[in-house]
């Protein structure tokens, strides 16, 4: 008999009743240290007082009016995002996949509005993950997500990861844009070199196509800058964000320059729930904290400590950990044993992690994690890896004492 909840998830055998900071608690009070943060969603941890206050205050005033009317919270959040980024305009939606859908449609519409309706294709990278809608699984190009849902949405050309020459070769008269994540999350915490990002920016300018960034996972402070592309000193034409901007409340956004958004006229795109007053109250509250003086400096400091301690664990457990990857508080362990084994051993130590492609375990703690909590996480991870060392230790040779 099928489960009453559609069984599309391979869930861990645990559920939680409440959260506080970087910890989650089961209904019998057992505490877990959350190093996954809902896959980089709970950027400010669980039940952050400022977010709780903002959502509670808004809930007592107004939940929903639809986008048929003005929504002051949208206007405030859009103004703050445009003042702090490359963007001139923002469209609010409910998720990362919807933000990517908007970005893809915007790129096509830009060329259409300029008299080039044949430019609709988008170049993407191998290993990418852009969401679970029909268009975004086609953009990601991973067979495990496309299988059984064909025919795939047409219009995406995938090239090897971070290969600028391949991107140049793939761009033709039908190309509208190039879409990539500055750091692939689900793809295994694979960072696009900054020189490659700069080369792609120049290539897009040279060939008249749009540079579209997927910062759904890397955005809103995760790498120690407000957005990951800032490290490379380039700006996109269009950018999709979600996850952390809602701090746990479902929301996404598509940011763009005025030029890139020039085709998006009234009636060309829309949403029922996107940008409703509840989401906007939380989004503004998240920015209140992330934009505080020193917040991102602290994320960078904690990211450096985190990477150093993971490197030490890699040296201490060479049979289990092959490589430490990532930036800021978006790090990953490429494993020599199955990453599911490592995640399972961490769960046995009440440490929550997230699996990824390329046999990687992701570590994405709330950005508010402190040094004591990080030390505790490293102790738990060390015990988990030691447990696996014992399981995978080579058998002694015959004749050994």
Domains and their CATH numbers in the chain = 16-34+294-392 (3.90.1150.10), 49-291 (3.40.640.10)
Residue with tokens 């085709």: 263
pLDDT tens digits, 55-67? 999 999 999 999 9
Q: Residue 363 has which token pair?
A: 């570590």
- Could you read off the pLDDT of 261-311 as tens digits, one per residue? 999 999 999 999 999 999 999 999 999 999 999 999 999 999 999 999 999
- Mean pLDDT within 17-37: 98
**Distance in angstroms (rounded) separating the CA atoms of residues 103 and 255:** 8
Contact predicate 229/197, CB 8 Å: yes
| Dist CA 242 CA 185 (whole Å) | 14
pLDDT-based confidence at residue 398 (cuts at 50, 70, 90): low
Query: What is the predicted pLDDT for the residue at 393?
Result: 74
**Where does the pLDDT of residue 395 fall: very low under 50, low under 70, confident under 90, or very high at 90 and above?**
low
Question: What are 397's two structure tokens?
Answer: 């040779």
Instruction: Please provide the DSSP assignment of 258-287 as one string.
Output: TTTTTT--TTSS--SSTT-HHHHHHHHHHH
Strand partners, 213: 180, 239
Q: Binding site: which residues?
A: 96-97, 129, 132, 214-217, 271-272
pTM for this structure? 0.96
In the annotated binding site for N(2)-acetyl-L-ornithine, the residues are 132, 271
Residue 73 has pLDDT above 60, yes or no: yes
pLDDT higher than threshold 90 for residue 7: yes
Section 79-103 average pLDDT: 98
pLDDT at 397 over 80: no
Token representation of residue 332 = 């990953």
Check residue 396 and give its pLDDT: 66
Residues in binding site for pyridoxal 5'-phosphate? 96-97, 129, 214-217, 272
Residue 108 banded pLDDT, cuts 50, 70, 90: very high
pLDDT tens digit sequence for 336-374: 999 999 999 999 999 999 999 999 999 999 999 999 999
Residue-averaged pLDDT of the chain: 97
């Amino acid at each position: 008999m099928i489960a009453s909840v559609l069984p599309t998830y391979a869930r861990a055998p645990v559920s939680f009743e409440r959260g506080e900071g970087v910890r989650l608690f089961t209904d019998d009070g057992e505490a877990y240290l959350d190093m996954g943060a809902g896959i980089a969603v709970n950027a400010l941890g669980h039940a952050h007082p400022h977010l709780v206050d903002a959502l509670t205050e808004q809930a007592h005033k107004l939940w929903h009016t639809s986008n048929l009317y003005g929504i002051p919270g949208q206007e405030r959040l859009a103004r703050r995002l445009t003042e702090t980024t490359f963007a001139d305009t923002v469209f609010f939606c409910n998720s990362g996949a919807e933000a990517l859908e908007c970005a893809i449609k915007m790129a096509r519409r830009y060329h259409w509005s300029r008299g080039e309706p044949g430019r609709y294709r988008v170049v993407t990278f191998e290993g990418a993950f852009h969401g679970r809608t029909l268009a975004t699984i086609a953009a990601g190009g991973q067979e495990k997500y496309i299988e059984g849902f064909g025919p795939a949405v047409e219009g995406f050309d995938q090239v090897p990861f971070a290969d600028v020459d391949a991107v140049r070769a793939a761009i033709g008269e039908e190309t509208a844009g190039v879409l990539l994540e500055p750091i692939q999350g689900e793809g295994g915490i694979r960072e696009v070199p900054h020189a490659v990002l700069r080369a792609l920016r120049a290539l897009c300018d040279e060939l008249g196509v749009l540079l579209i960034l997927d910062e759904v996972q890397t955005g809103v402070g995760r790498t120690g800058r407000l957005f990951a592309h800032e490290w490379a000193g380039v700006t996109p034409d269009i950018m999709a964000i979600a996850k952390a901007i809602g701090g746990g409340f479902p929301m996404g956004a598509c940011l763009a320059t005025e030029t890139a958004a020039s085709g998006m006229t009234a009636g060309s795109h829309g949403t029922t729930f996107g940008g409703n007053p509840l989401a906007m109250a939380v989004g503004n509250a998240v920015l209140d904290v992330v934009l505080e003086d020193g917040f991102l400096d602290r994320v960078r400091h904690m990211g450096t400590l985190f990477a150093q301690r993971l490197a030490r664990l890699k040296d201490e457990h060479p049979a289990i950990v092959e490589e430490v990857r990532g930036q800021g508080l978006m790090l990953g362990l490429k494993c020599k044993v199955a990453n599911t084994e490592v995640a399972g051993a961490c769960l046995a130590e009440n440490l929550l992690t997230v699996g990824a492609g390329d046999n990687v375990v992701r570590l994405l703690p709330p950005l508010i994690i402190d040094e004591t909590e990080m030390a505790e996480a490293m102790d738990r991870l060390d015990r988990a890896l030691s447990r696996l060392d014992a399981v995978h230790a080579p058998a002694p040779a015959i004749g050994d004492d």
